[in-house]
Structure 1
Amino acid sequence: MTLLTLEDLTLRRGPCPVVEGVSLTVAEGEFVGLIGPNGAGKTTLLRGALGLLPAEGHSSLAALPPEARARAAAWLPQVREIAWPVSVEALVALGRLPHHDKGDDAVETALERMGLGAFRDRRATELSGGEQARVLIARALAQEAPLLLADEPVAGLDPAAQIAAMRVFAELASEGGAVLSALHDLGLAARHCTRLIVLSRGRIVADGTPREVLTAETLASVFGIRAHFADTPEGPVFQPLDTLEGA
C-alpha cells in the first residue's frame, strides 16, 4: 500500500524553485533515506509533502484534512526544543492528540522503544539535548501513524543512540509502516535504509537501494567526496574517505 504520493511537487522561494518537479511514492515496508548536501531542498521537500508550505503539484498528504493528515503521518522537525516543564510521559502522550485518546499502551511502547522508561517522571526540560531529542522521537512514535516523516532525527545523538533510533525506524518499516527521513550520515543511511533518494539542487538525481545509489559517480558529482562501500557479514559499511580536489 502506498502511504505517500508526490507528483511534480515544486516549492519556490520567491521566483526561484527550491524543490522542482519531484515525483515519488513511499510504500509500506520502506525506510527511505532522503540524502543530499546542505541546501539541496530536503527540509523544504518534507514540509511541502506535509502541506506546511505552499506548493505546486500534488501531495497525497497535503490533500488530506488536517485531522486525517495527523493520523496518516507523524512529523519530526529538525528543530527540537522542549519549552514546557512537563514530565517525559506527559510530553510523549501528546502524540495521541490526533486520536483523541490517552493511548497508554502506545505511550508505553514508545517510551520503551526509545529507552526512556526510567525517564518517564522527569521534567523534559531538565534533560540533555540528546535525551530531549529521543523524547520527541518517542512522541512521534506514540502517534502510531503509518508514515513517519523525520528531518535529521538522529542529529545530536551519541553513536549508541543514533544506532538505536535507526533500528527503531527500520523496525517500524518491517512492521508494515514506512519512514521518510532526511539524513546527513551516509554511513547510517547505507546501513539501515531500504532505499535512498538523492536530492541535489531541488531535484531527484538518484533513487534506489543504498548500493545502487551510493556510486562513485553520484558521490563525486553530488557530494564532492570519495568513499568506501563494502558488503560485510554484519551488513553494508559505508565510510567517506576524502573530499575531491576542487570540490
Structure 2
Amino acid sequence: MSLLSLQDLSVTRGNRPVLTQITLEVQPGECIGLIGPNGAGKTTLLRAALGLLPATGVSDLAAMTPARRAHAAAWMPQSREIAWPVSVETLIALGRIPHLPRGSGLRPEDQQAVDTAITRMGLADLRHRTATHLSGGEQARVLIARALAQETPLLLADEPIAGLDPANQIATMQVFAGLACEGRAVLVSLHDLGLAARHCTRLLMLQDGRLVADGPPDVALTAQNMAQVFGVSAFYQNTDTGPVFQPLEVLE
C-alpha cells in the first residue's frame, strides 16, 4: 500500500516552472532521501505533495481533508520557530493533537507516544526545560520529536539535520532508518550526501525541478550524476560498515 502517490505533480511561479511532472510512490519500509542542489525544488516538492502550494497533477495527500492528512503524514518544515515558552514535553505533546478527542487531555497512549519520541531523540534531560531557552540544535531535535509523536505512517521532513552536530545528525538519520524498519516511511530532504548514502534505502535526485535519478544510493550517486547535477567529483565505496560517500572537488 502506497503512503504517498504523486502523478505529474508540477508547480509554476509566474511563468517559471519550479517543479515539472514529478511522478513517484512512497512505500512502507522506505527511508527516502530527497537530494539536489540549492533551488532544485526539494522544498517545493514536499510542500506541494502536502497541498501547501498550488500545483497541477495529483498528490493523494493533497487530496485528503486536513484531518485525514494529519493522521496520514507528519510534516517538519525547514523553519524552526518556537513561538511559546513552553516546556519541551509540552511542545512535543502538540504532535498528539490530531489524535485527541475534542476537549480531551493526553490519554495514556498519547503520553506513551510523547515519551517514546523523547527517548528516540535523546531529550530526557531536556524534558522539563523551556523550549525557547534551548540552543538551535536542541530546538531542532525537539521539533523532530514533535513530528515523531504524531505517529503517522509517513514522515516528511525538510532539512531536519541542518545545524545539528555530527553525533546528532547520525542519531537522527538512524531514527529515520529505524522508522522505515518498523514499516513506516520517511521522505527527508538533505544536503549531506554521505549520510544519505549510509542511511537511506532510496534517493530521489532533483535538478531544475525535474526528477533525474530515483534508486538506491549506489544507483543515484554515480560519477555521471554527481558531475551533471552537482558539478563535483566524488568517492563512493561499499565497506564492511556500510557505504562511504564523499564529494571531492568542484569540476571545471
1:97 corresponds in structure 2 to 97
Q: Give yes or no for the alignment of 1:199 onto 2:206.
A: yes
Q: Give yes or no for the alignment of 1:173 onto 2:175.
A: no
Equivalent residue runs for 1:94-173 within 5 Å: 94-100=94-100, 102=106, 103-173=110-180
Q: Deviations over 1:41-72 (max 9, x none)?
A: 00000000000001100001000000000110
Q: Distance in 2 between matches of 1:34 and 1:114?
A: 22
Which one-letter code corresponds to 1:39 in the other structure? G
2:54 corresponds in structure 1 to 54
1:222 corresponds in structure 2 to 229
Q: Distance in 2 between matches of 1:183 and 1:214?
A: 14
2:244 corresponds in structure 1 to 237
1:22 corresponds in structure 2 to 22
Q: Which runs of 5+ in 2 are unaligned?
A: none
SS in 2 for 1:187: helix
Q: CA deviation at 1:192?
A: 0.3
SS in 2 for 1:64: coil
Q: Distance in 1 between matches of 2:219 and 2:53?
A: 31
TM-score normalised by length of structure 1: 0.98
Q: Distance in 2 between matches of 1:159 and 1:52?
A: 31
Q: CA deviation at 1:17?
A: 1.1
Which one-letter code corresponds to 2:11 in the other structure? L
Q: CA deviation at 1:16?
A: 1.3
Q: Distance in 2 between matches of 1:239 and 1:94?
A: 38
SS in 1 for 2:98: helix
Q: Distance in 2 between matches of 1:6 and 1:181?
A: 16
Which one-letter code corresponds to 1:4 in the other structure? L
1:70 corresponds in structure 2 to 70
1:8 corresponds in structure 2 to 8
Q: Distance in 1 between matches of 2:200 and 2:186?
A: 9
Which one-letter code corresponds to 1:29 in the other structure? G
Q: CA deviation at 1:83?
A: 1.7
Q: Distance in 2 between matches of 1:60 and 1:29?
A: 19
Which one-letter code corresponds to 1:159 in the other structure? P
Q: CA deviation at 1:82?
A: 1.1
1:187 corresponds in structure 2 to 194
Q: Which runs of 5+ in 1 are unaligned?
A: none
SS in 1 for 2:3: strand
TM-score normalised by length of structure 2: 0.96
- Number of positions where the alignment pairs a residue of Structure 1 with one of Structure 2: 245
Q: CA deviation at 1:34?
A: 0.5
Which one-letter code corresponds to 1:56 in the other structure? T
Deviates further, 170-179 or 11-20: 11-20
Q: Distance in 2 between matches of 1:188 and 1:97?
A: 32
Identity of aligned residues (%): 67
Q: CA deviation at 1:84?
A: 0.7
Q: CA deviation at 1:81?
A: 1.6
1:45 corresponds in structure 2 to 45
